[in-house]
Amino acid sequence: MKLTTWNVNGIRARLVHVIDFLREQRPDILCLQETKVVDDQFPREPLEDEGYNLEVFGQKSYNGLAILSRHPIEAVVQNLPDDPPDAERRALGCIVGDLMLLDLYVPNGQEVGSDKYRYKLDWLRRLRAFLDAKYSTGEKLALLGDFNITTDDRDVHDPDAWRDKILCSVEERTALRSVLAFGLEDLMRKHHQDAGIYTWWDYRQGQSKKDEGLRIDYIFGTPALAATCIDVVVHTDMRARKTPSDHAPVTAVFAE
Query: How far is residue 78 CA from its own chain's centroid?
Result: 15
> Exposed, middle or buried: residue 85 (CB in 10 Å: 0-12, 13-18, 19+)?
exposed
| 233 Cβ contact list (under 8 Å, min separation 6) | 250, 251, 253
What are the backbone dihedrals phi and psi of residue 239, each rounded to the nearest 5 degrees, phi first? -75, -20
The answer on pLDDT for 202 being more than 70 is yes
CB 186 within 8 A of CB 192: no
Percentage above 90 pLDDT, the chain: 96
Mean pLDDT of 237-242: 94
- Average pLDDT of the chain is 97
The answer on pLDDT for 56 being more than 70 is yes
**Spatial separation of the C-alpha atoms in residues 75 and 149, rounded to whole Å:** 28
- Give the pLDDT score at 245: 97
Amino acid at site 172? E
Sign of CA pseudo-dihedral 97, 232, 93, 100:
positive
pLDDT 10s digits, 96-140? 999 999 999 999 999 999 999 999 999 999 999 999 999 999 999
**Spatial separation of the C-alpha atoms in residues 252 and 243, rounded to whole Å:** 25
**Spatial separation of the C-alpha atoms in residues 19 and 191, rounded to whole Å:** 28
Give residue 74's domain range. Answer: 2-254
pLDDT 10s digits, 224-234? 999 999 999 99
Pseudo-torsion of CA 70, 93, 90, 181, nearest 10°? Answer: -120
CATH number for the domain spanning 183: value is 3.60.10.10
pLDDT 10s digits, 163-172? 999 999 999 9
The answer on pLDDT for 205 being more than 70 is no
Count of domains for the chain: 1
Mean pLDDT of 142-150: 98
The structure's pTM equals 0.97
The answer on pLDDT for 52 being more than 80 is yes
- Give the pLDDT score at 154: 98
